[in-house]
Amino acid sequence: MQIVSLGTSGPEVSAIGLGCMGMSGMYGPADRAESIATIHAALEAGITLLDTGDFYGMGHNEMLIREALTGGRRDKVQLSVKFGALRDAAGGWSGYDGRPKAVRNFLAYSLQRLGVDHIDIYRPSRLDPDVPIEETIGAIADMVKAGYVRHIGLSEVGAETIRRAAAVHPISDLQIEYSLISRGIEDQILPTCRELGIGIIAYGVLSRGLISGHWQKDAAKNGDFRAMSPRFQDGNLEQNLALVEALRRIAADRGATVAQIAIAWVAAQGRDIVPLVGARRRDRLSEALGSQAVRLDAGDLAAIERAVPKDAAAGARYPEAQLVHMDSERRG
């Protein structure tokens, strides 16, 4: 496993990270034993970056990770934790809270659920429109000084917000969706991060399984986020799966799977970009790890670009009700 520096101020992490969200119900039921076995397999393969959120399963994901890291495994990983999303007892979403006193509260609960004395990278999950980003980052900076947090990250924010946050405290990385069919960061956000020495943790590299090569029509069930995701809806889905078939032909010519090509493409966009794979089973993890053996030359990248042109995806990456909360989607 290759090790890379996460931005100019962040920690050294594995070149691929493991996103644990899907192990706590966001994509339908998950198997607890298999989830823990997958985390263990990731650590054995050299993955050191584990990503979670305190709202994944309303704390379930953090407690799952705590269980998986028993036996001295905590010292082998960097824990990335998102906070701020507000949920209700029915599992619904009710906004974001970035107030300094809320930051301290969220952090205290995460430390307890994870069973750790510090979090390696702590980040607001979204921008709270009612709280200046300077206040939120300032509160996390206080927790850095107190020793409870090692590094500060961001998630799904735009270029202006990134600059304002970085003026308060060094930012290790921005976590944001980036894949062959989600390339919005290339216009302003990625150049800003590179100017400021901020790394990228790219989630959604397989677009929630859509471009994994395994997705089939009508696979999303109740309780699965994808059941309401625009790109998985009738009309959009067929167009998007046609892109996958074009990618499949390229993958076959190179002796790789569609997922491996898609992950390798993200990694090929720069050493400052760390793909976050959302595997919740060992077989899917093994496939994702195989992407490290895929080397894409200029001809390969050109062929992939022809097969999946920028902006070729049908449908937005989130429902409109969620997009309005995403600072990264604002233009101008």
User: pLDDT tens, 138-195?
Assistant: 999 999 999 999 999 999 999 999 999 999 999 999 999 999 989 999 999 999 999 9
Residues that are catalytic: 56
The answer for residues whose C-beta is within 8 angstroms of residue 87's C-beta and 6 or more apart is: 55, 58, 93, 94
Model confidence at 265: pLDDT above 50: yes
Burial level of 310, CB count in 10 A (0-12/13-18/19+)?
Answer: exposed
**pLDDT tier at 236 (50, 70, 90 boundaries)?**
confident
Average pLDDT (255-279) is 95
Averaged confidence pLDDT in the chain: 91
Least confident range from 172-181, 206-215, 270-279: namely 206-215
User: What's the rounded Cα separation, in Å, for the pair 176 and 148?
Assistant: 24
Q: Could you report the per-residue pLDDT of 104-151, keeping only the tens digit for each? A: 999 999 999 999 999 999 999 999 999 999 999 999 999 999 999 999
Tokens, residue 293: 């053996």
Q: What is the DSSP string of 151-218?
A: EEEEES--HHHHHHHHTTS-EEEEEEE-BTTB-GGGTTHHHHHHHHT-EEEEE-TTTTTTTSS---TT
Tokens 């050294």: give the residue: 12
Please say whether the beta carbons of 129 and 123 come within 8 A. Answer: no
Alpha-carbon distances of 24 from 61, 148, 306, rounded to whole Å: 6, 25, 36
Model confidence at 82: pLDDT above 90: yes
**Cα torsion at 131, 133, 136, 139 (round to 10°)?**
-130
HSE (CB half, 13 Å, CA atoms) of 176? 28
Q: Could you report the per-residue pLDDT of 66-77, keeping only the tens digit for each? A: 999 999 999 999
**pLDDT tier at 332 (50, 70, 90 boundaries)?**
very low
Percent of the chain with pLDDT over 70: 95
Average pLDDT (54-72) is 94
User: What's the rounded Cα separation, in Å, for the pair 275 and 255?
Assistant: 21
The reported pTM is 0.91
Q: What is the DSSP string of 95-143?
A: EE---HHHHHHHHHHHHHHHT-S-EEEEEESS--TTS-HHHHHHHHHHH
